[in-house]
Amino acid sequence: MADPGFATNKRDPIKSSVVNAAGTRRRQLAVTVGKERRESLVRAKRLCRVGVSDAEVDVDVEGEMMIDEEQSILESQTSLAVENLKSALAYQGKGAVQKRVGALQELRRLLSRSEFPPVESAVKAGAVAILVQCLSFGSPDEQLLEAAWCLTNIAAGNPEETKALLPALPLLIAHLGEKSSSPVAEQCAWALGNVAGEDEELRNVLLIQGALVPLARMMLPYRRSTVRTAAWALSNLIKGPNPKAANELIRVDGVLDAIVRHLTKADDESATEVAWVVVYLSALSNLATSVLVKSDVLQLLVNRLATSNSLQLMIPVLRSLGNLVAGDSHATYAVLVPGLEVTDTAMQALIKCLNSEHRVLKKEAAWVLSNIAAGSIEHKQLIYSSETLPLLLHLFSAAPFDIRKEVAYILGNICVAPTKGDEIPNLILEHLVSLVEKGCLPGFIDLVRSADIEAAKLGLQFIELVLRGMPNGKGPKLVEQEDGIEAMERFQFHENEDVRTMANSLVDKYFGEDYGLDE
């Protein structure tokens, strides 16, 4: 059973009167946002090649990234580096600190060197236990930084290598505190972000051990790199599917103010990471959604969308907007009001995304519009009368399937008035007639023919509107002319009960024995 804290990131789809089928409500669980994140070129786990503070660490980045040694040699060097670190840690004579730092730097260089670092060799050689010792309180900052860096890159490995960091987690979390230097705290946050990016089990471990609050506090200052790292780690930590972490984060004192401040003033890279935090907050927590909508966040997201050309930023901004509009009626009924400047700006920004060359931007923009289209009559009219409609009709006929399906929700929703429960929706006849005259019916019939059950339901629901609502009883003839009867009959013995019942009921009701006799 779904947790009551979940927000249902949906747009109420068009409803069909066929056997009182209400259709499906789109629930986009936050865990599926990982797909969008991959599309935005943001990795859930990140290898650290460049130090968090150039002042503290001398790194020959170009040289290290250009070296391409045989993997076997690299693995042997890594095993030897771990043994050297063990020896350096045991050494208590003169220059002991420098000896330890030098051994750590050698291991760190090896773990940062290639596209596929020799993490397995380091773990098998016992690196994690030694690095945990190097994180002990009272150690010099340079030692702490190098040890955390090594652990960061081990955590960027495969699942088993990431889980090897379990013994290190308490100290990594402890070094997030105010007593740690900013570079050390940030590097520890990076390591924890990699761990959190692995799976729900490790996220739960981090939450139980208290990682959330100190990470949240790291997002409060103005230091850009710290904000970026902390926000990225937090987005990995709260991304679900359990909403408890998102609920806890929005309650941390100062977090909302920090989100507003960074969305207002931060550079695109920092704003991107903060926007991903908003994505997961708004996807998982009704509480967070309500708090965010009542702040300036929605206006700030619209402004970012309108002014940015960064693909990495625009994707989480669009996703956040869609979540907020879907999750809190205040967003659609009190903020996105036709005639308000923010609404005009939002519509122009969405048009910009629909015209983009990037498929994912088109899809996300259509999803946001589908949530707006599921709102009031005024919101449906807003879309219908705007310059988005010709663009949507073009996409519906020419775009890839996933975009066409999103557009179908918009076009269908602007044809029906809001309803309560499973009531048969009242048609907005002007919209329906206009869309059919503009040629969108074949597109919906194509959806019926698709293998995607959700898309097929959308097509059947729109066909029902045409059959029931077109003036002078023209609906059946229009559907027949586009081979809609044949498309529906393919579901006569379909295994999915919903679509089978919907399709068979439509055929029986509108194309039964008496169909065509009056001709």
Q: Give the model confidence (pLDDT) of 429-447 as tens digits.
A: 999 999 999 999 999 999 9
Whether the link from the prior residue into 241 is cis, omega within 30° of 0, is yes
Per-residue model confidence (pLDDT) at position 78: 92
pLDDT digits over 309-368, tens only?
999 999 999 999 988 888 767 777 767 887 888 889 999 999 999 999 999 999 999 999
Per-residue model confidence (pLDDT) at position 469: 92
Q: What is the mean pLDDT of residues 392-404?
A: 95
Token output for 247 = 């609920």
Confidence of residue 513 (pLDDT cuts 50, 70, 90): low
- Answer yes or no: is pLDDT of 6 > 70: no
**Total Cβ atoms within 10 A of residue 503:** 26
- Answer yes or no: is pLDDT of 62 > 50: no
Is residue 372 in some structural domain? no
Q: Which of helix, strand or coil describes residue 417?
A: coil
Per-residue model confidence (pLDDT) at position 2: 33
**Total Cβ atoms within 10 A of residue 207:** 17
Q: What is the mean pLDDT of residues 206-214?
A: 97
Q: What is the mean pLDDT of residues 447-468?
A: 94
Per-residue model confidence (pLDDT) at position 58: 44
CATH label of the domain that carries residue 465:
1.25.10.10
- Higher pLDDT: 47 or 57? It is 47
Per-residue model confidence (pLDDT) at position 52: 60
Q: What is the mean pLDDT of residues 48-76?
A: 58
Q: Which of helix, strand or coil describes residue 9?
A: coil
DSSP code for 334: I
- Write the DSSP assignment of 186-200 as a string of letters: HHHHHHHHHHHTT-H
Per-residue model confidence (pLDDT) at position 51: 62
* Total structural domains within the chain: 1
Per-residue model confidence (pLDDT) at position 39: 36
Is residue 198 in some structural domain? no
- Higher pLDDT: 437 or 62? It is 437
- Higher pLDDT: 18 or 343? It is 343
Is residue 202 in some structural domain? no
Which distant-in-sequence residues (6+ apart) come within 8 Å of 116 by Cβ? Answer: 71
Mean pLDDT of the chain: 85
Cβ(31)–Cβ(350) under 8 Å? no
- Distance, CA of 18 to CA of 40 (rounded, Å): 40
- Distance, CA of 49 to CA of 65 (rounded, Å): 8
Is residue 480 in some structural domain? yes
- Higher pLDDT: 73 or 142? It is 142
Which distant-in-sequence residues (6+ apart) come within 8 Å of 432 by Cβ? Answer: 415, 465, 466, 469, 470
Is residue 501 in some structural domain? yes
Confidence of residue 259 (pLDDT cuts 50, 70, 90): very high
The sign one gets for the Cα dihedral 146, 152, 158, 163 is positive
Q: What is the 3-state secondary structure (H, E, C) of 168-189?
A: HHHHHHHCCCCCCCHHHHHHHH
Instruction: Tell me what percent of the residues of the chain surpass a pLDDT of 70.
Output: 85
pLDDT digits over 270-304, tens only?
999 999 999 999 999 999 999 999 999 999 999 99
Per-residue model confidence (pLDDT) at position 515: 62
Is residue 455 in some structural domain? yes
Per-residue model confidence (pLDDT) at position 116: 78
Of the ranges 65-69, 94-98, 304-308, 478-482, which one carries the lowest mean pLDDT score?
A: 65-69
Per-residue model confidence (pLDDT) at position 462: 96
Is residue 449 in some structural domain? yes
Q: What angle (nearest 5°) sits at the alpha carbon of residue 347, between those of residues 343 and 353?
A: 145
Per-residue model confidence (pLDDT) at position 48: 81
| Position 23, amino acid | G
- Distance, CA of 434 to CA of 488 (rounded, Å): 23
Range of the domain at 468: 439-518
Is residue 112 in some structural domain? no
Distances (CA, A) of 496 to 15, 124, 224: 18, 50, 52
Per-residue model confidence (pLDDT) at position 35: 41
Q: What is the mean pLDDT of residues 362-384?
A: 91
